[in-house]
Amino acid sequence: MKVALFIPCYIDQLFPEVGVATVKILRRFDVKIDYPLEQTCCGQPAFNTGYWLEAKTLAEKFLKIFSNYDYIVSPSGSCTSMVRIFYPEILKNKNIEEITAKFFELTEFLTKVLQVDSTGAEFNHSVAYHDSCHALRELGIKESPRTLLKNVKKIKLLEIEESDRCCGFGGTFAVKFPEISTEMAKSKVDNIIKTGAEFVTSTDSSCLMHIGGYMSKNGVKVKTIHIAQILANF
Amino acid sequence: MKETYTPLKFKENALRFIQDEKRRANLNKAIYHTLSKRTEVVSELPDWEILRQRAHDIRKEAIENIWHYIEIFEKKASENGIKVIYASDAIEARNQVLEIAKRINAKLCVKSKSMVSEEIGLREFLEENGIETVETDLGEFIVQLAGEMPSHITAPAMHKSRDEIGKLFNEKLGVEFTSVPEELTKIARGFLRDKFLNADIGISGANFLVAETGSIVIVENEGNAGLSTTLPKIHIAIAGIEKIIPRLSDLTVFFKVLGRSATAQRFTSYVSIINSPRRKKPDSPEEIYLILLDNGRSQMLKSEKLKEALYCIKCGACMLACPVYQTVGGHSYGWVYPGPIGSILASAQLGLEKATPLPFASSLCGKCHEICPVKIEIHHTLVWLRHQAVELKKTSRMEKLLFKLWLSAMKDARIYKAGAKLLRFLKKIGIKPSLKAWSRTREFPQIAEKSFREIWEKELKN
Amino acid sequence: MGERTEKLIERFKLEFERVGGVFIRVKKDQILPILNQTLKVENADKIFVEKFDDELSNILKQLNVKQIITQAHSEKQLAKVDASVTGCDYLIAETGTIVFIHDEKRFKSSILLPRVHIVIARSEQVYESLEHVFEKIDKKFDSIFLVTGPSRTADIEKVIVKGVHGPQMVYLILI
């Protein structure tokens, strides 16, 4: 199978280690991956802020770049949901859903396509799992990440109270309504602290960036780590 | 309250509420209490998801064929003696009520809970015209005394503490101060009992209008709707056109999901299914009027996106579950319907011009959709409204420009890479881009030494 | 009594009590003493009694209270009674609901105005669900009133208070 990697712009520039981890994991299962260099952004920031024309332009380009692959994998629930759920909203092509159905978030790809429930990783730490809203509610991703994490050797996996409560990022919402966004981060972080975990992880770096940003500013010692980085620890 | 009660003042209202720790704590205590009870009563129904789907399907059937069912309803209700009147907007509706009141020289009206009546500002209008109008639902009675708007559609005084209510009763009703809920309730009961018995008109809303039988259905816990619609000689019910459902049996589905979603109850204490005035019954109004209110709803019907928002059965669950509503409270939204569904309704009824911050005041987490008993895609509709706002040029020019620039960078990988290179260079020479709106309360992420694509090119490709 | 009806009655009792109702099952000859006791406990001196069949009416005439109204000439009269004794049309086991069809013999205000509401029902009136009741009734009804427990509110800090505008106590006497 021909698999391409889709690395969201913010992971590319801010958290490249997440991309590196993703490659490591896929190669562990002998998946031959391509990384088309023309890729930039799926268009979500524009779409979510109402700029659908701009989002559409990017979406069309985006699909062209990935048109020759059987699967496209991304370490981001949020970007994957943009393609699978929202592209059909702005691109009224006839078989759009067939095309977008090839896009998978990493943990989905592992458990549903490769049908594995472990990467053989080891992580001797306590880790709390945060459900990213897009991954959970748009893509129904709930069990895959937990299954994969549970099988990481020596890990202590913890559930956050109201694990599905929004972290408050919401894209441009975080800068348009910073006070509300920050209060939501506070609620999330208060719940994370209650677990006593050393790390908080998620399928989405955008959430982790927001949660982590709040924690650093407020001297909270919990560290953020993307799920790919844990699963790649072999 | 009046000047700041508009969606346009959302941000400042929200900020004020965020800083009011006591009020926030009150609100969230009430919300959490309801939500945890809701979880209990919902988990008792193993077929909850099937019920939700069924409720969605019935509402879809009703809204897709709304005029057909309204016609059936009108015919049946009229046959039964209910006078059905159409009101295209708030002004028409208010005047219709006033006309009826004037005809019988009414001096006193009792009102049971009706969001639609708040929407059209009925009570204030009647009082301006010399007709004493008393809210009889305890929560509404409280906010009426306080001169406030309800902060939630099924729990109007949820933002008030017992002490505040005690003080209010002491000031406005001249009773001795008490903050014991049972005593406060008793005071209200006594005061309002007198009003029920002497009212000329009883005004109610309607939770559902059943086409098949021409019935007005009212769901409640206190008994005030039952009394308001039985004791006075005239009963005026006002309902939005979207309240229509096809059959009597459809009610069984809604009763299962409505109580659980609104107040975490298996069933409300009382349900009135009203078909006709007097006829055989002894104590009953002599005349029943049903005012079918449009007020922007037929416009919503024309839009595929907004149509779905009309499926709403006004349970208020989306508000309880919304992390934004929990943070800013109901009054911040500045419209009688607050929270997620309120953001859609305000945009539709007041126009995006007057409601613009609201569709943007959401992180789009989708919890509202998850909890909605009729499965409205509230979060998706909010994004669509944002798109409408952009189309109608209601967003800032600066923002438009920024996105155009952003697009040119993202359209071409070379420009994107050049931009990234520029940011790295700036970082090297000590210039950090800072977004005050972000960095005031959160650390800014650092741009990485090497981007992923560089690492791929240099190390990972093979 | 059929096993099925017994099961339904059990379910009704469970749900009715869960919403704060008081369920009492009696044989016809116990009606009078049970009602007298209940009215005493509730300090009910003045009561309203609905029109029942002759047999029941004769029993109820003997109730030990100061005043019995059988024909409410005005709602204001009903507002002054402490308790009302009425019949009902159906009982719904699934939710502990009592169904009243508002017709010539029934005063809706007798269900809502007094502080105490006592309902006399027969076992045959129990149905499993509202769906079943809707199938049974004549759709040409004037109005229907569903009662599930006493009047309540949680409008003050979510504290549940009973007896807001409607009755504080609802009794179901099943014959």
Per-residue confidence (pLDDT) for residue A33, from 0 to 100: 95
Per-residue confidence (pLDDT) for residue B90, from 0 to 100: 97
Q: Which of A80, A113, A146 is the last residue of a domain?
A: A113
Cβ–Cβ gap B407/A181 under 8 Å: no
> Smallest Cβ distance to C156: which of B162, B224, B249?
B162
At residue B278 the predicted structure's pLDDT band, cuts being 50, 70 and 90, is: confident
Domain span at A49: 3-113
> To the nearest whole angstrom, how far is the Cα of B375 from the nearest Cα of chain C?
23
What is the Cα–Cα distance from A183 to B18, expressed in whole angstroms? 8
Per-residue confidence (pLDDT) for residue B153, from 0 to 100: 87
Q: Are residues A171 and A210 in the same domain?
A: yes
Q: How confident is the model over B100-141, as pLDDT tens digits?
A: 999 999 999 999 999 999 999 999 999 999 999 999 999 999
* Chain A residues inside the 8 Å CB shell of B365: 133, 137, 166, 170
Per-residue confidence (pLDDT) for residue C105, from 0 to 100: 81
Asked, for residue A121, whether it belongs to a domain, the answer is no
Q: Are residues A85 and A30 in the same domain?
A: yes
- Kindly state the greatest CA–CA separation across chain C: 48
- Identify the three-state secondary structure at position A52: helix
Rg (CA), chain B: 26
Domain span at C127: 3-174
For the beta carbon of residue A2, count every other beta carbon within 10 angstroms: 12
What is the signed CA dihedral for C146, C151, C155, C157, rounded to 10 degrees? -130
Per-residue confidence (pLDDT) for residue B124, from 0 to 100: 95
Per-residue confidence (pLDDT) for residue A47, from 0 to 100: 97
Task: Please compute the mean of the pLDDT values over residues B285-309 and round it to a whole number.
Answer: 96
At residue B393 the predicted structure's pLDDT band, cuts being 50, 70 and 90, is: confident
Strands B215-220 and B234-240: unpaired
Q: Encode burial over A66-75: b for 16+ CB neighbours within 10 A, e otherwise.
A: beebebbbbb
DSSP string, C57-121: HHHHHT--SSEEESS-SSHHHHHH-SEEEE--SEEETTTTEEEEE--TT--HHHHHSSSEEEEEE
Which partners does chain B have (≥3 C-beta pairs < 8 Å)?
Answer: A, C
**CATH classification at residue C48:** 3.40.50.10420
Answer for the pair B297, B336: CB distance below 8 angstroms, yes or no: no
In this model, does residue B433 exceed pLDDT 90? no
In this model, does residue B92 exceed pLDDT 90? yes
Cβ–Cβ gap A40/B416 under 8 Å: yes
Per-residue confidence (pLDDT) for residue A102, from 0 to 100: 95
At residue B431 the predicted structure's pLDDT band, cuts being 50, 70 and 90, is: confident
Asked, for residue A207, whether it belongs to a domain, the answer is yes
* Chain A residues inside the 8 Å CB shell of B363: 133, 166, 168-171, 173-174, 181, 184
Cβ–Cβ gap B221/C146 under 8 Å: no
Q: How confident is the model over B219-242, as pLDDT tens digits?
A: 999 999 999 999 999 999 999 999
Answer for the pair C72, C110: CB distance below 8 angstroms, yes or no: yes
Task: Please compute the mean of the pLDDT values over residues B263-272 and round it to a whole number.
Answer: 95
Helix %, strand %, coil % of chain B (to 5):
55, 10, 35
> Smallest Cβ distance to C95: which of B182, B248, B266?
B266
Per-residue confidence (pLDDT) for residue A42, from 0 to 100: 94
Cβ–Cβ gap A177/B450 under 8 Å: no
Asked, for residue A208, whether it belongs to a domain, the answer is yes
Asked, for residue A11, whether it belongs to a domain, the answer is yes
pLDDT above 70 as % of chain B: 99
In this model, does residue B385 exceed pLDDT 90? yes
Secondary structure of B124-177 in the HEC alphabet? HHHHHCCCEEEECCHHHHHHHHHCCCCCCCCCCCCCCCHHHHHHHHHHHHCCCC
Q: Are residues A141 and A188 in the same domain?
A: yes
8-state DSSP, C41: H
Q: Are residues A161 and A104 in the same domain?
A: no
At residue A106 the predicted structure's pLDDT band, cuts being 50, 70 and 90, is: very high
pLDDT above 90 as % of chain C: 79
Q: Are residues A8 and A109 in the same domain?
A: yes
Q: Which of A113, A135, A157 is the last residue of a domain?
A: A113
Look over chain C and give the mean of its residue pLDDT values, rounded to a whole number: 93
Domains identified in chain C, total number: 1
Per-residue confidence (pLDDT) for residue B28, from 0 to 100: 94
Of A64-78, A153-167, B174-188, B400-414, the range with the lowest mean pLDDT is: B400-414
Q: How confident is the model over B7-36, as pLDDT tens digits?
A: 999 999 999 999 999 999 999 999 999 999
Task: Please compute the mean of the pLDDT values over residues A179-199 and round it to a whole number.
Answer: 97
Domains identified in chain A, total number: 2
* pTM: predicted TM-score of the whole model, two decimal places: 0.94
> To the nearest whole angstrom, how far is the Cα of B193 from the nearest Cα of chain A?
43
In this model, does residue C1 exceed pLDDT 70? no
Chain centroid to Cα B208, Å, comes to 16
Q: Are residues A102 and A182 in the same domain?
A: no
Q: How confident is the model over A110-127, as pLDDT tens digits?
A: 999 999 999 999 999 999
Best A15, A22, A92, A179 residue to mutate vs chain B (most B CBs within 10 Å): A179
Q: Are residues A17 and A106 in the same domain?
A: yes
> Smallest Cβ distance to B280: which of C103, C130, C151?
C103
* Chain B residues inside the 8 Å CB shell of C141: 273, 275
Per-residue confidence (pLDDT) for residue B81, from 0 to 100: 95
Strands C169-174 and C22-25: parallel
What is the Cα–Cα distance from B84 to B73, expressed in whole angstroms? 9
In this model, does residue A207 exceed pLDDT 70? yes
Q: Are residues A215 and A162 in the same domain?
A: yes
What is the Cα–Cα distance from B224 to A214, expressed in whole angstroms? 48
Task: Please compute the mean of the pLDDT values over residues B364-377 and round it to a whole number.
Answer: 98
ipTM score of complex? 0.96
**CATH classification at residue A140:** 3.40.50
For the beta carbon of residue C18, count every other beta carbon within 10 angstroms: 13
Best C91, C133, C143 residue to mutate vs chain B (most B CBs within 10 Å): C143
Best B28, B161, B270 residue to mutate vs chain C (most C CBs within 10 Å): B270
pLDDT above 70 as % of chain A: 100
Task: Please compute the mean of the pLDDT values over residues A29-58 and round it to a whole number.
Answer: 94
Look over chain B and give the mean of its residue pLDDT values, rounded to a whole number: 94
Q: Are residues A135 and A100 in the same domain?
A: no
Per-residue confidence (pLDDT) for residue B1, from 0 to 100: 54
Q: Which of A82, A113, A144 is the last residue of a domain?
A: A113
Phi, psi of A143 (to 5 degrees): -85, -40
DSSP string, B48-97: HHHHHHHHHHHHHHHHHTHHHHHHHHHHHHHHTTEEEEEESSHHHHHHHH
Per-residue confidence (pLDDT) for residue C2, from 0 to 100: 83
Q: Are residues A90 and A131 in the same domain?
A: no
Which partners does chain A have (≥3 C-beta pairs < 8 Å)?
Answer: B
Asked, for residue A177, whether it belongs to a domain, the answer is yes
Q: Are residues A13 and A87 in the same domain?
A: yes
pLDDT above 90 as % of chain B: 83
Q: How confident is the model over C147-167, as pLDDT tens digits?
A: 999 999 999 999 999 999 999
Per-residue confidence (pLDDT) for residue B461, from 0 to 100: 82
Task: Please compute the mean of the pLDDT values over residues C46-69 and round it to a whole number.
Answer: 91
